[in-house]
Amino acid sequence: MKLFAFLYGISIALPLLTDPVTRVVMPFNEKEQPLVGAIRWDGWVGDLNRAGLEVERILGPRQYHYRAPFFSKIIHDDSIQCRGTTQAIMDQEIAYAKYAGLDYWAFCWYPSGSGLDTARQLYLKSAYKSDIKWCVILGTNPFDYDKDAKWLVERFKENNYQKVLNGRPLVYVFSATATLLPQLTALRNLSRLAGVPDPYIVVMGFSAQNAVAAADSLYADAISCYASVTDFETGASYNRAAYSPAVPKSDQAGWEKYAASGKPLVPWVTAGWNPKPRIERSVLWNSYYTPDGYAKDGTPDQIAQSLQNAIKWTSNNTNAAEAGVILMYAWNEFDEGGWICPTLGNNTSRLEAIRKILK
């Protein structure tokens, strides 16, 4: 998942407005189609960052080549290259996302020059970037709430940045804690000074309790989850269960738990939680997986049905899902098992199934 995810403090020059924003919300109409986005974790950069070499190593064994991104190159049975570092590849990804009917990508944030920012930079340079909008997931790596925040607020002004609820820029925050309040307050201040509507901040937590605590301390607008990595009904691992019904049931149980808190939420759809490559060959930044802590791959139709369930739930719970947005895990978490991007051999089966729902 996230590489070296952490939060840090930084001095803020702007005066801080710490009072919560007055909430005046008109939920989206249940007759409207919710906006559907997908998470981008862009470690597929080869030697531009050590993470790129790590994910190539763990996807190297032949049994995992089927899940490698479409732009991969097989070197031999125990080696593969997965390097999405050209404009042509990004333009193709945009075309795939548009074809599927996705509304936006949520990019995990990595600093400029880290190598892991390559996909974001290529997207922003693309002549086709308006074909799919984008937003940011903060908290996945250092974010300079002075320099980077000023840059981000300028992006908020652009048409291809995803907005909700009458123009509010959508911002997700991963692993949010109370220590982030001064930084998010600064982001809100910068937005106001730039004449931009207040960002719609959605904090992600792997339990309703943690998400609510973070939302309360940060005056966040909504809560969500990156993915259902365990069973939300029981708290247990998937224990090698079949994707369906285990993972879709866990997603819906999570929505219900989060909604029961009274906080608005963004429903999430887990396209898979099968990090076997990382279980067998752990990556440098974590080794938290248990041997049976995964669910088997779902079929394309099962994943699409899970999305359909989320659309129906969102449309039936417009007060809880006030912003009318859904977030899929994920566009390209190939090594963890959550992907809808086409894979090696131009396997578009998951994308085609999603298209049937969205188109």
Question: To 5 degrees, how large is the angle CA 96–CA 100–CA 105?
Answer: 75
Give the whole-angstrom CA distance, residue 274 versus residue 231.
13
Per-residue pLDDT of the chain (359 residues; tens, 9 = 90+): 554 332 222 222 333 333 444 444 556 665 578 999 999 999 999 999 999 999 999 999 999 999 999 999 999 999 999 999 999 999 999 999 999 999 999 999 999 999 999 999 999 999 999 999 999 999 999 898 888 999 999 999 999 999 999 999 999 999 888 889 999 999 999 999 999 999 999 999 999 999 999 999 999 999 999 999 999 999 999 999 999 999 999 999 999 999 999 999 999 999 999 999 999 988 888 776 678 899 999 999 999 999 999 999 999 999 999 999 999 999 999 999 999 999 999 899 999 999 999 98
Question: To 5 degrees, how large is the angle CA 139–CA 145–CA 150?
Answer: 120
Cis check: omega of the bond before 330, within 30 degrees of 0: yes
Q: pLDDT at position 7, please?
A: 28
Question: What's the count of helices (H) and strands (E) in the chain, helices before strands?
Answer: 10, 13
Q: pLDDT at position 29, please?
A: 63
**Of how many residues is the chain composed?**
359
Q: pLDDT at position 30, please?
A: 56
Q: pLDDT at position 288, please?
A: 62
Got the DSSP string for 136-163? EEETSS---TTHHHHHHHHHHTSTTB-E
Q: Which domains are assigned to the chain? A: 35-43+86-358 (3.20.20.80)
